[in-house]
Chains A and B, each alone.
Chain A
Amino acid sequence: MVMGYRVGIDVGGTFTDITILDEKTGKISVIKIPSTIEDQSIGVINGLQKMNTSFPLEEITYMIHGTTVATNALLERKGAKTAFITTEGFRDILYIGRQTRPHIYDFWAKKPAPVIPRSDSYEIPERIDFAGDILKPLDKMKAIEVIEKIRQKNFESIAVSFLHSYINPEHELKMRELIIKNIPDVYITLSSEVLPEYREYERASTITINAYLQPPIKRYMSRLEDRKNQLNIRPKIHIMQSNGGIISIENASNQSVRTIFSGPAGGALLGPFIAKQVGIQDVITFDMGGTSLDICLTRKRQLRITNESEIDGLPIRVPMIDIHTLGAGGGSIAWIDAGGILQVGPESAGATPGPACYKKEGTQPTVTDANVALGYINPNYFLGGEMQIDLNLAKQSIEKHIASFFNIGIEEAAAGIIDVVNSNMIRGMRVVSVEKGYDPRNFTLIAFGGAGPLHAAAIARELKMPQVIIPPNPGNASALGFLLSDVRYDYVQTYIVSDKHLEIEKFAQIFDKMKCLAYKDLKAEGFQKQEIRLIYTIDMRYLGQSSELNIPIDFEVKTQEDIQKIVETFHQFHEENYGYRMEDEEVMFVNFRLAAIGEVPRLIKTPQPLEDKDPSKALKGTRKVYLEGNWIDASIYERKKLKPGNYIKGPAIIEEYGSTTLILQGMDSEIDAFENIILKFE
């Protein structure tokens, strides 16, 4: 293997982060450059050019890119002019949805607007039943009429979803033939190809979003390719998906719906990576930035994938890492509500107007202001000193808006702000753990993002989590996570059958068909058959239930008895998740899923030798910090200078570029062989 640089590029709202792994030395370097929102590829290229000054671009061996182009186009409804074609009698499925109203009490809550207006939805007489039998053949004359209308209205993209097409795609395939014949250059998304999964509303929602995003994504990707080629970078660009895996740039264009939420996926990948490094199994990642917090629970180093996500209220049925997001970050604003109690967030001051201490337009007190006022953040060392912030403005703002209302001291008010935002985040942590049946006491907290390391210790203490890990470069975690991802393709096929009627031949046939596709897709990515890892899972439920559990199949299924073994696994899973099993109830197999993974060889970071415990070489001095109701002296350390093996007793603060770690009283911390900070309670 030729050694060189492996590059992860994450485009965020404010900054484009580039993380560079030197394959020869294992050293990681970080570049930040302002994002260019109107065309993200410009910022990416600017970043690469900046990189070129220290890391020759022709030595790049691998490139992984996470982009918010799809998410932004969807949220701002700036996708392509798209038509929707479905079965006669059902053009309204997108508008009726699941018939619920968005908020029980609020008359003004909005039902999410589908990406395609009703006027661009068309019906074709045709009908296939639940068993795949054709009840009414596709009406060709009517189909051609509809296609002609679509041609005249200059649609750029077309989504086709007929009822029960997951079991029999014949009519959709025929429809495509007719479309190509009449409108050769239009984008076409067929539901039987992108998502052969039952439940017509969720399927239609997913594939219409795919069709809507395909043209802009394709344009973005080809601009990026062109610019990259001009820089003489040879390796192809890989795109991060929301499932935590990467795919080729061509496939990302065709299956654009899979690239939504690629940024948070990068951060979540750090969970299993660090768990493996330090030899633990179960972790929760805590990624707290300026406006939001992403929480992801990982057991046995396996990321949990959900197939039931939504964006902007619209369902998207493609696999995504199960990440829980809430509006709590450094920029969250503290305010007093009409009943006179302190609230924090969800409104954020963001980068502009920004926290009061930023000396911009912001005057409202934020979580960052509270951290500054309490002495946790060093006003002279924000972003390594690149940015000046003002302690007095933070204090004034807290005094004016919070402390005077309660008639208490500024530090007491600031501590109140921290306690309230922490309690909001603790609620979020409990949602992903306790409410799902997991005890946080059995998990390690891995904290990153600009603000994560400041709050992690208090969160862990409240939830009685035994330890906290702060990885190196916590401010660039997503782009680093990209470098840990493998190539991943997901496939699904709905076939609804009771355990009593599922034959092994049918079982094999369903998976064989998906395997063929998988081998083809991964071959195109340069993987040999023997290099591909396949993960089999099945969505199952008891007869009469309305939602499924995803059951992993980690043994080879060859005989009819093996199918019974799957049923037993389902009973076990059901009991684990819901507390009971129903042995005498029929078990339904619903969605058969295959994930194909091509492992990208990555350099395992080698542990460094531990040096002595004394951290004094990294000691910068002491500072008064307000903890547990008192101003006390805390030692301040520079992270860059800390060495593996160093031991620090709380209270203490570790400062670095882009983040600050707060170690509370009664906590120990040490730097491990991989330069992680490990915090433990005594």
Chain B
Amino acid sequence: MAQLNIELIRLNVIINALRSISEEMGVTLTRAAYSTNIKDRKDCSCAVYTIDGDMVAQGEFMPIHLGVMPFALKEILKDYPIEELNPGDIIIDNDPYRMGSHMWDVMLFAPIFYEQTPIAIVGNIAHHVDIGGTSGVTFEIFEEGLRIPPIKLVKKGEIQRDILNLILANVRTPKEVKGDLMAQTAAINRGKIGIKELAEKYGPQMLSTYFKEILNYSERMMRSALQEIPDGDAEFKDFIKVEQAPSLFTGQLEETKLEKYKHIRNLIRIQAKIKKQGSDLYIDFSGSGGRFNGINAPWSITLSATYYAVKAVVAPRIPTNSGSYRCIHVKKPEGNSILNAVYPYAVRGCTSNPSQRIADVIIGAFAQLIPEKSSACHQDWPVLMIKGMNPRTNQYFSFVETYAGGLGAKFNEDGIDAAQSHMSNTRNAPTESIEQEYPLRVEEYALIPNTEGAGKFRGGLGLRRRITLLVDAHVLAKVQRNKLKPYGLFGGKDGHKAQIGIITPQGSITKGLPFYIQVAKAGTQIIIESSGGGGWGNPLERDIEAVRNDVINGLVSPERALKVYGVKIDPETGLVDYKETKTIRDKLLSS
């Protein structure tokens, strides 16, 4: 035992080396990629696996790949057992029904051999600009582009030109797709070099022992984190509100009977039951809604959102691999379910919703078991797309932005104002660069006062972006948390709703829209307002100085401070009337 321990005391040396390898694969991929989506947004992940397909290290930029990378390779190995793979082979795959993501996310995997023996597998996933398919609403997978089951793109080092040509013939941007695929193979090669160096240094036998120990180590880390959470059961539900018409491809939609949401139509329920027992966690999505046009989640994406939420609550700072997930048991819903897309149902929108809502309900359930590690509800990012002709360049332009909003409050702290939530963390475009590049003028970019979910700890504030079109343009704007607001917890209030507003060139104003699609005239102003985050605890228990601070900083109005928080503040001097405040709070608390 002692002899092995002399080696194992260095386990972290190997973990560091594997992290370097997966990160360097990521850097190679983002540096060599053609499309800005991979280069700038880093919408890709790289990983190292055992020959059994267990992921030992992941260089990960996007939480949406958490549940894809550990499982897609296992599916591939069912089609291609390791014995059938040769040195120099690379497999390509984007099949959502084989634990892939939506089809824009293309994966490459390659075995690594040391003196004719396979010792490891490396792989990566990257979001391509185009994979074919329609630009409209989708119902079936066939409308979403080219589905690639696991096939060998490279055989014994030879790229299969016929396969590559077949792929490139089916996409709108063959130059970018080819460039990005080449970048993915460059990343594979980078990973091979790193793993071979490790095998030379430690020997293939010891390396495989290290792999096994790393998986066990990660399992112990996750189990020890789960041990800190009290045993118990909890359940939470929330809804996705859909705007399109139901179709043949739609399951059962709900109208809620909830008191606070009377008569809201077209809802899809997302519901999670969690059970924590010892160091194991069981999650069951039974009761969640049926399938709907284009937003069904492949099982891997449901797992990604689940793992994201579990990681955020249970072990936010620990790097994860297949070992970490051994103690997380997620029950797959069978039949008609939006959370387990089966052939041939469409999946394209799955990475925004239901993913965001899955995270919301799991965190909501955890809040009942372990409030100190959870959060009230975050905002759900609004999306704005403006397309048209730019007279300055005489070229088409396409402006796309997703927006920050208020994050949920916690048991001991306010939620963050204006930040990206859950599955996305992309940056905004600076106003000065929007105006340089597009025929748009930004009139306002600001926090919206009084949008926080009130509470002992308040949710974050939403934000407003107001843009004037300088040319006629096609506008698509979408917000999710319009009628169904981000929930507060333990007496905390819901965050204020997200909404779209339009001011026509003539000056007439429409507000409160959840959805807007129109060819709009030059001079039209588009207003996007994101929601606030949910609050935590009774607002009447909020620290008076914190309320005063919000009032002084203009985040909460004196009227709201009085009405919602029961704090009387002189708007001129910013001074609190403590006596009056006590009377008001006592009165409100007793009623």
Contacts and interface: CB of A to CB of B under 8 A. Distances in A.
A579 interface: yes
Contacts of A424: 16
B316 A118 contact: no
A642 to B, nearest CB: 33
A92 B447 contact: yes
Given A129-B435, A342-B9, A435 B36 contact: no
A606 interface: no
Contact of A95 (B316, B417, B425): B417
A193 interface: no
A460 to B, nearest CB: 16
A75 interface: no
A577 B445 contact: no
Interface in B221-252: 221, 224-225
A91 interface: yes
Given A93-B445, A198-B436, A341-B217, A545 B11 contact: no
A104 B425 contact: yes
Given A93-B445, A129-B441, A130-B436, A118 B312 contact: no
Looking at B31, B410, B466, the one whose CB has the most chain A CB atoms below 10 A away is B31
A652 B446 CA distance: 64
Interface in A422-439: 422-424, 426-427, 430, 434-435, 437
Contacts of A342: 9-12
A106 B17 contact: no
A160 B179 CA distance: 44
Interface in A321-359: 337-344
Interface stretch (B288-296, B484-492, B502-510, B549-557): B549-557
Contact of B432 (A164, A419, A434): A164
Interface stretch (A35-43, A266-274, A408-416): A408-416
B446 A423 contact: no
Contacts of A108: 410, 413
A164 B413 CA distance: 36
Given A100-B425, A105-B317, A426-B16, A200 B430 contact: yes
Contacts of A416: 6, 9-10
Interface in A557-610: 577-580
Interface stretch (B19-27, B85-93, B538-546): B19-27
Contacts of A632: none
Contact of B217 (A90, A202, A340): A340
A617 interface: no
Given A198-B433, A412-B9, A339 B419 contact: no
B451 to A, nearest CB: 13
Of B20, B27, B34, the most chain A CB neighbours within 10 A belong to B20
A339 B222 CA distance: 8
Contacts of B34: 580
A406 interface: yes
A526 interface: no
Contact of A435 (B27, B312, B421, B433): B27
Given A406-B8, A434-B24, A546-B40, A427 B16 contact: yes
B554 A118 contact: yes
A547 interface: yes
Given A105-B311, A107-B312, A416-B10, A340 B407 contact: no
Contacts of B428: 96, 98-99
A577 B33 CA distance: 12
Nearest to B448: A92
Given A99-B427, A199-B432, A408-B6, A90 B12 contact: no
Contact of B220 (A104, A338, A544): A338
A117 B63 contact: no
Interface in B1-53: 1-2, 5-6, 8-13, 15-17, 19-20, 23-24, 27, 31-32, 34, 36, 39-40
B418 interface: yes
A371 B388 CA distance: 66
A435 B23 CA distance: 8
Given A96-B445, A106-B316, A199-B430, A101 B425 contact: yes
Contacts of A119: 552-554
A513 interface: no
Contacts of A96: 404, 417-418, 428, 445-447, 463
A201 B32 contact: no
Contacts of B407: 101, 107
B316 A420 contact: no
Contacts of A202: 430
Contacts of B430: 198-202
B555 A118 contact: yes
Contacts of A200: 430-432
Interface string B442-463: 1111110000000000000001
A546 B37 CA distance: 11
B419 A111 contact: yes
B431 A90 contact: yes
A290 to B, nearest CB: 22
B308 interface: yes
B391 to A, nearest CB: 13
Given A118-B554, A130-B436, A427-B19, A95 B5 contact: no
Contacts of B316: 103, 105-107
A90 B433 contact: no
Nearest to B426: A100
A89 interface: yes
A348 to B, nearest CB: 17
Greatest chain B CB density within 10 A among A105, A341, A402, A434 is at: A105
Interface in B153-193: 179, 183, 186
B403 interface: yes
A574 to B, nearest CB: 11
Interface string B472-488: 00000000000000000
B340 interface: no
B375 interface: yes
A419 B447 contact: no
A577 B419 contact: no
A93 to B, nearest CB: 7
A89 B466 CA distance: 9
Contacts of B179: 580
Contacts of B554: 118-119
Given A106-B316, A578-B31, A420 B431 contact: no
Contact of B36 (A129, A343, A434, A546): A546
Interface in B377-413: 403-404, 407-408, 410, 413
Contacts of B2: 406-408
B337 interface: no
A427 B16 CA distance: 7
Contact of B224 (A104, A117, A339, A420): A339
A339 B220 contact: yes
Contacts of B429: 546
Contacts of A297: none
A257 interface: no
A496 interface: yes
22 contacts: A95-B418, A96-B418, A98-B428, A99-B427, A101-B425, A104-B425, A105-B63, A107-B408, A164-B435, A202-B430, A340-B220, A406-B8, A407-B2, A408-B2, A420-B10, A423-B16, A423-B17, A434-B24, A435-B24, A545-B40, A577-B31, A580-B32
Interface of B: 1-2, 5-6, 8-13, 15-17, 19-20, 23-24, 27, 31-32, 34, 36, 39-40, 63, 179, 183, 186, 217-218, 220-221, 224-225, 308, 311-312, 316-317, 374-375, 403-404, 407-408, 410, 413, 416-421, 425-433, 435-436, 441-447, 463, 466, 552-555
Given A91-B446, A408-B5, 12 more contacts: A92-B445, A96-B417, A96-B428, A96-B446, A105-B312, A198-B432, A200-B430, A408-B6, A416-B9, A423-B17, A546-B40, A579-B32
List 8 tightest A-B contacts by C-beta distance, closest first.
A416-B9, A99-B404, A105-B316, A89-B444, A339-B221, A106-B316, A338-B224, A101-B419
